[in-house]
Structure 1
Amino acid sequence: MSAQSRPAAPGIRESATVTSLRHQNRAAALRFVLQQRETTRAELARRCGFSSASAANITAELIEDGLIAEVGSVASRGGRPISLLAPRADGAYAIGVDVGERGVAVELFDLSLTMVDREFRGGRREESPDDIHRDLSEAIAELRERNRERWPRVLGIGLGLPGVVETEADGTQVLYAQSLSWAPRPIPLDLDPDLPVYAENGAKTQARAELWYGAARGIDHAVVALLGRGVGLGVITDGELAHGAHSSAGEWGHTKIRYGGALCRCGQLGCVEAYLGADAILEAWRARGGSFDGSGWQALGALLAAAASSDPDATAVLDDTIDALGAALGSVVNLTNPQRVVIGGWVGMRLMEQHADQIAAAVRRNCLDRLGAQFELVPATFGGDTVALGSALMPITALIDTPRAELFAS
């Protein structure tokens, strides 16, 4: 028998198995503490399936590594106080970025996922990919300058991007932003000399934030819609975010809501985004004689205020928008059978402020009765920082998945 074909000695196989199990348990424990934000060793053991001894050993290791800390105690039934565990806020940091077509919001989060600093670039006009690259580099450099003491503990940069982000077999990532008429572009890796870069579609990063901390937390089957200038979706199945074969699942904004319908920015006809994107909604009002400034939050607010004042044209546009949203999400309900439908993005949040019941009724009119009775519709938990928060979770997830021996190799 050759050396190549000879099986490994039992001790070697057992050692590798034990090491792998130890890493899995450590990763599960760290993820649990980060998601719960405050817990006890007993709760950790119960929820992760550990023995009391294993929970104690793992938490001692994570405390030693500076990733979690004891932050107080609660009374027990007659015994010693029970220690509370929480992420050690200054144990690590992560950058999350919401990349829009008109600028970038770059945010620095600590390990408790509290934002500690923020830098914005752009905002005046639609920008080219080169403009966005420059904005990112400048904003990150500015954050680095203001946070020199923290920077050695920054894990990486997560980008939430407007378009399809594909991950190749070798790990490289490419952005396909057809709606913005951008040529395919590799994800830039030179944003900071010391930090790795991770990227994903912005709707998915929003969904990840809601899954970890928001309206989809603890829900095994959910859909999280992002309505802004663009339209996207995150699908959660069995408690995990769906990615598809090349990480690009969830392009709901470019599914068809009307055969041969309105022209979409992607160049096709009848897309969801052509009816539910901010520009499409406001253009429909303009075509009916609506008058407003800009094309963002205040302009949409003017439409909603006019509808609330019984302006017939604004009311008609709002009703058409809700009908289109009901039809588009009704199909998603039929396809995915979610327990919860979450609506976010700045357009979605504004619509949900006063019209959640109307939207829920429209969705149920457009899906099968049985499936329509099985979901609840709720607004997203987070506002404008959701995409950036979900993006910061990418380098934090990489931290969780890194074996301890590699994490502290240096």
Structure 2
Amino acid sequence: MSGEPGSGRPKLSLPEVSTVTTLRQRNRALALKQVILAQETTRATIARDSGLSTASAGNLVAELIAAGLVEERGSVSSHGGRPITLIGPRAESAITIGADIGERGVAVELFDLAMHRIDREFRGGAKEESPEQIGDDIHEALRALRGRNAERWPTLLGVGLGLPGVVETAPDGSQMLYAQSLGWPPVPVRSLCDLGGVPVLAENGAKMQARAEMWFGSARGADHALVALLGRGVGLGIVSAGQVAYGSRSSAGEWGHMVIERGGRLCRCGNRGCVEAYIGSDAILSAWKDTGGVFEGTGWRAIGALIAAAHQGDPAASTIVDEIIDCLGVALGGMVNLTNPERIVIGGWVGLRLMESLGERITAAVKKYSLSRPGDQFQLLVAKFGGDAVATGSALLPLEALIAADPAERGPR
């Protein structure tokens, strides 16, 4: 590397200038994420957690304030010094949307920049729908939200979709949904939601629940975790080294279709013996019905009735619940051996029902089917987010895109 004559200093080449600029953008993004995660923090805390000098952290915060993304919120007293100014996200500066998409309908939720939910809209829910009908549901829900939030709509960062299947992203940025268990053909994400110039980002719903739990829930601060989504379908978010695992083409975490019994029950995906064929809600209630169980509906109340009947000593219900716990232990025990998590988080509406009264039994079952050493190294927790988990995690996709860009230069639309 050449230097300027007589200067004694190396000349900064263009690639190095680019590297310095990228590093500053990264630090600015890191500061913005810290502010959103903390909700309220200080310049000194940002400096400490990011490894920057206090002066550098102060400059980054000033840039974020100038961009309208961060604001000062009064002060707190210090130990004998000047009051310390609090910093928080400027909630009204932008909105982001997350949608929980299933084969029976959609739940679309609107959040501000501080990730406070400010509105929601549901469509469908009565019966299974085609991809075309699901697309109509999404657009109808978005129109309703826009109608009620017209003044804030120009600040929309984008829409995130949590989808029931594998979502692959092509080199050109286009995305395709592969929902084998629903019997759908490959579905272009754009056909489900196309909003012109508004960014639409998609990912598997279980990964979106894991993202929500990592940011604000029971997986926060964990470098290695398993976040299980138990509902009609079954999925898993695998957190490794503080990041959600995607695999080579984004299908990592299709745990619901891991075979736990050769030649076992027929699964919706067409294979036999999958995890979902034993602990998905349809499989659970079908097994209970086959033994004479009587219940209403196929949702929250029905699963609750099964667990209540088991607690009351009903032999058939007790057998079904024992089988659920054992199968869950087998499925998660293998993942404990494979990934060595520090936390296992159980979510989804079926998972929340099970964790209301069966957490200790589930923990024992997982330990039974894992090696003793890794089996003693995890903590089983219930997910913080209930029915909002996938929508919340999906709403983080546009927010993360903002953070990954230069947040001081690229604000809301």
Give the TM interval when normalised to the shorter protein. over 0.9
- Following superposition, the deviation at residue 389 of structure 1 comes to 0.2
Q: What corresponds to 1:150 in structure 2?
A: 152
Check the 8 A contact 1:168/1:246 in 2, yes or no: no
Q: What corresponds to 2:367 in structure 1?
A: 364
Q: CA RMSD in A?
A: 1.4
Q: What corresponds to 1:378 in structure 2?
A: 381
The 1-side partners of 2:28 and 2:12 are apart by 24
Distance 1:319 1:84, change over 3 A: same
The 2-side partners of 1:39 and 1:404 are apart by 18
**SS of 2:381's equivalent?**
strand
Equivalent residues in 2 for 1:303-314 (5 A)? 303-314=306-317
Pick one of 184, 187, 191 that aligns with 2:186.
184
The 2-side partners of 1:83 and 1:308 are apart by 53
Q: What corresponds to 2:7 in structure 1?
A: none
Q: What corresponds to 2:345 in structure 1?
A: 342
The 1-side partners of 2:197 and 2:153 are apart by 9
Q: What corresponds to 1:4 in structure 2?
A: none
Q: What corresponds to 2:267 in structure 1?
A: 264
Check the 8 A contact 1:133/1:188 in 2, yes or no: no
Distance 1:321 1:386, change over 3 A: same
**SS of 2:96's equivalent?**
strand
- Return the structure number with greater relative CO, CA threshold 8 A, min gap 6: 2
Q: Percent identity, aligned pairs only?
A: 60
1:39 equivalent in alignment to 2:41: yes
Equivalent residues in 2 for 1:164-179 (5 A)? 164-179=166-181
Check the 8 A contact 1:198/1:394 in 2, yes or no: yes
Pick one of 193, 201, 209 that aligns with 1:206.
209
The 2-side partners of 1:343 and 1:24 are apart by 33
**SS of 1:407's equivalent?**
coil
Pick one of 276, 279, 289 that aligns with 2:279.
276
Q: What corresponds to 1:83 in structure 2?
A: 85
Equivalent residues in 2 for 1:23-62 (5 A)? 23-62=25-64
Check the 8 A contact 2:229/2:348 in 1, yes or no: yes
**AA at the equivalent of 2:394:** S
The 2-side partners of 1:78 and 1:30 are apart by 29
Q: What corresponds to 1:3 in structure 2?
A: none
Q: What corresponds to 1:5 in structure 2?
A: none
For residues 187-213 of structure 1, give each alpha carbon's deviation from its aligned partner in whole angstroms, at most 9, with x where no partner exists: 026442341100000000000000111
The 1-side partners of 2:390 and 2:318 are apart by 30
Equivalent residues in 2 for 1:208-357 (5 A)? 208-357=211-360
The 2-side partners of 1:404 and 1:231 are apart by 36
1:129 equivalent in alignment to 2:128: no
Normalised TM-score (structure 1): 0.96
Normalised TM-score (structure 2): 0.95
**SS of 2:108's equivalent?**
strand
Check the 8 A contact 1:225/1:232 in 2, yes or no: yes
Distance 1:258 1:365, change over 3 A: same
The 1-side partners of 2:258 and 2:105 are apart by 26
Tell me which moved more, 301-310 or 228-237: 301-310
Segments of 5+ residues of structure 2 without an aligned counterpart are: 1-10
The 2-side partners of 1:13 and 1:402 are apart by 19
The 2-side partners of 1:404 and 1:360 are apart by 42
Check the 8 A contact 1:220/1:236 in 2, yes or no: yes
Q: What corresponds to 2:165 in structure 1?
A: 163
**SS of 1:358's equivalent?**
helix
Check the 8 A contact 2:206/2:236 in 1, yes or no: yes
- Following superposition, the deviation at residue 404 of structure 1 comes to 4.7
Segments of 5+ residues of structure 1 without an aligned counterpart are: 1-8
Runs of 4+ in 1 over 3 A off after TM superposition: none
